[in-house]
A and B are shown apart, each in its own frame.
Chain A
Amino acid sequence: MQQSAFLPREALSQLFQALQGDGYRVVGPTAEQGAIVYRELGSVAELPAGLVDHQAPGRYRLEQQAHGRYFDWVGTAQGLKPWLFTPEQPLMVAREVEGGLRFESVRETVPPTAVIGLRNCDLAALALQDRHFLQGEYPDPHYAARREQLLLIAVNCHRSAATCFCVSTGDGPEVTAGADLVLDELGAGFWVWASSPRGRALLARLPTRPLAGAHKRRSKALRKRARLQQRALPSTDLREPLYKARDNEQLWQSVADRCLTCGNCAAVCPTCFCSRVDEESPLDASQSTQIRRWDTCFNDEHSYLVGHVVRESAVHKYRQWLTHKLAMWHDQYDRSGCTGCGRCITWCPVGIDIVEEVDRLCTEVKAGAPRE
């Protein structure tokens, strides 16, 4: 059962207070170093009021507008990934004790965390990370500890950035599932939906008003506007064309010539899950800690085997990243690993555009590009 109502703009602070009163830390969007990022917030005042993002290949700029809406930006630099699959995660601590080694699990105490401002592409990515970290034979206890504490307040997008293509992947722009509350920002306030028991309990405590017909009409028009996107991936299973492209290295040379193999695309991708395990000890060697850190398939070490690197060239690295994301994911997790957020396009320092590359690969495969 869904429940919805109108929350006046000035009452948003009461949502913050309700959450904080219940013991939640509130994580939400704020402007930092020229980008919108998720941080722990004290109050509504820290939300990026009136800030709008302009995104393009290799470009992200914020612009201050007079309207003062809190959620008129589209994309944060990172999705929810760092809050669950943290960039650095201690895994276990070893100590030398009398008669051998002692190993201790690392157990974190995670406060209940309410995240406000999430878009559907990031909720879809969260579902994919859940699949990877929680639904296999060995669930990751560190991801699980953070995941269990989440309350999710999502926002419907009312416009799309030039880099967005969630319509084509089926992951937006409208919030479909996975949130406790959904906000639709209209000038004077929010159309709020509660879509979980916790969301309904929260909504019942807010000073809401009945929704006016004008609100619904305005919201519908804005949500429709957000569907106008400049980019689209083919909305089909891309395994067939990409596996054909996989077998012809020549097709990857033009993108490999531009790719710096920096791994930015994987770092900002909300579904990329690779990590490496490091070992660290203090100078007195009193203990030794295993630490998991984000890794990407663009690093030589990622595919290092005694004596050689399996994927040394940019052709092999970019091909691994793209074919894994858009093809192998279907076999591993029953769907594509891309939710159309466009971050890999925006944060690529040379502006490589995944949509453009897929279009080119599909066209060249279809045209029967000559084999090397």
Chain B
Amino acid sequence: MKDPWLPQPAVVIDKVMETADVATLALKLVDPVAHARFHFECGQFNMLYLYGLGEVPISIMDMQQGLVLHTIRAVGRISRKLVALEPGASLGLRGPFGNSWPIEQARGRDLVFITAGLGCAPVIAAIRRAIATRPAYRRLVIMQGVKHRDDLLWQEQYERWREVPDCQVLLSASEEKQAHFAWSLGMVTGLIEKAEFDVNNCTVMMCGPEPMIRASMRGLAEAGVGLENCYVSLERNMQCAIGLCGHCQMGTPFICREGPVFRVPDIQQWFLLEGY
């Protein structure tokens, strides 16, 4: 029987400090065969292990030049140490786990991305894939909210996306006082009314803090988008990633197993209730 609890040795090849407390780690599995075999779908996550500390679930931002990219904010006991790792450091990796964004099913439709804070990381690979296979989709709308403009990760990338044909990039900052030509003031959900897309032929992908997801669901419904075309990536305390530990149950589904990506109608009876 294969041991699903066993991490694989990995090493940090490169590190980019994105902001004062957010780093992107580029990882490689030590075993070349395992590394060559590593494959992920947009929206999946890995369990990253630090010696003597334990594991945390981290979404896969993308793979580039054969390296697995994780963008991590230093917020908890283990994530703080992950952000402090330098190239050459050793860690463990289990994964990938979970399901993925409905990128294939969304062909021929407008794609709408709504993210806030570090919620952008789990959708970056999906956006990049959509742009790389541009003719397969109609319009793209990318909405990202941050507290302060300085918090925006990958500003250059967002600027490049503005140049993509039929691609609308909308940014908002909730805690800025001054207006800025490329930015809106307020929450990301305020951007929905500025977004230009076909409400009858779109697929929406959302990730961010839960209050922002709830507000987006309301905003989308008001705009006339059917919630059956909206998807959300969710987070709960995951300790095993293999559907055994029970921590990440949100009502019926185990988020590590049936998620982290859910079609909104499949999860909203639980998601909208406090305490599940």
Residues from chain B with a CB closer than 8 A to the CB of A144 are 1
CB of A91 within 8 A of CB of B5, answer: yes
Check B91 for interface membership: any CB of A closer than 8 A.
yes
Check B54 for interface membership: any CB of A closer than 8 A.
yes
Shortest CB distance A130–B (Å):
13
CB of A303 within 8 A of CB of B237, answer: yes
Shortest CB distance B10–A (Å):
8
Shortest CB distance B99–A (Å):
12
Closest residue on chain A to residue B8 by CB atoms:
A103
CB of A101 within 8 A of CB of B91, answer: yes
Shortest CB distance A150–B (Å):
17
Binary interface profile of B, 233-276, with partner A (CB < 8 Å = 1, else 0)? Answer: 00111011011111101011010010000000000010001111
Please name 13 further chain A to chain B contacts, defined as beta carbons within 8 Å, in addition to the given A103-B8, A141-B4, sorted by A numbering: A94-B7, A94-B92, A101-B9, A103-B9, A273-B246, A274-B245, A276-B247, A279-B53, A295-B247, A315-B275, A316-B274, A319-B275, A320-B276
CB of A277 within 8 A of CB of B274, answer: no
Q: What range describes how many residues of A lie at the interface?
A: 35 or more
CB of B245 within 8 A of CB of A276, answer: yes
Closest residue on chain A to residue B89 by CB atoms:
A100
B residues neighboring A (CB under 8 Å): 1, 3-9, 11, 30, 49, 51-55, 75-76, 90-92, 235-237, 239-240, 242-247, 249, 251-252, 254, 257, 269, 273-276
Report the stretch among A185-193, A324-332, A340-348 that lies at the interface.
Answer: A324-332
Shortest CB distance A27–B (Å):
24
Shortest CB distance A333–B (Å):
11
Check A212 for interface membership: any CB of B closer than 8 A.
no
| Interface residue from B8, B11, B55, B76 paired with A306 (Cβ < 8 Å) | B76
User: Whole-angstrom distance between the alpha carbons of A307 and B75 in the complex?
Assistant: 9
Q: Could you list 17 examples of A-B contacts with CB < 8 Å?
A: A92-B5, A92-B6, A100-B30, A101-B90, A103-B92, A141-B5, A274-B247, A275-B245, A276-B239, A277-B245, A279-B52, A279-B53, A295-B247, A315-B275, A316-B274, A316-B275, A332-B254
| Interface residue from A140, A278, A295, A305 paired with B235 (Cβ < 8 Å) | A305
User: Whole-angstrom distance between the alpha carbons of A94 and B274 in the complex?
Assistant: 38
Closest residue on chain B to residue A297 by CB atoms:
B246
Q: Which of A47-72 contact B (CB under 8 A)?
A: none
CB of B52 within 8 A of CB of A288, answer: yes
Check A24 for interface membership: any CB of B closer than 8 A.
no
CB of B247 within 8 A of CB of A100, answer: no
CB of A328 within 8 A of CB of B251, answer: yes
The 8 A-B pairs of least Cβ separation, nearest first, read A316-B275, A274-B246, A138-B242, A279-B54, A138-B4, A100-B90, A91-B5, A331-B252
Residues from chain A with a CB closer than 8 A to the CB of B52 are 94, 279, 281, 285, 288
User: Whole-angstrom distance between the alpha carbons of A9 and B81 in the complex?
Assistant: 64
Residues from chain B with a CB closer than 8 A to the CB of A311 are 275-276
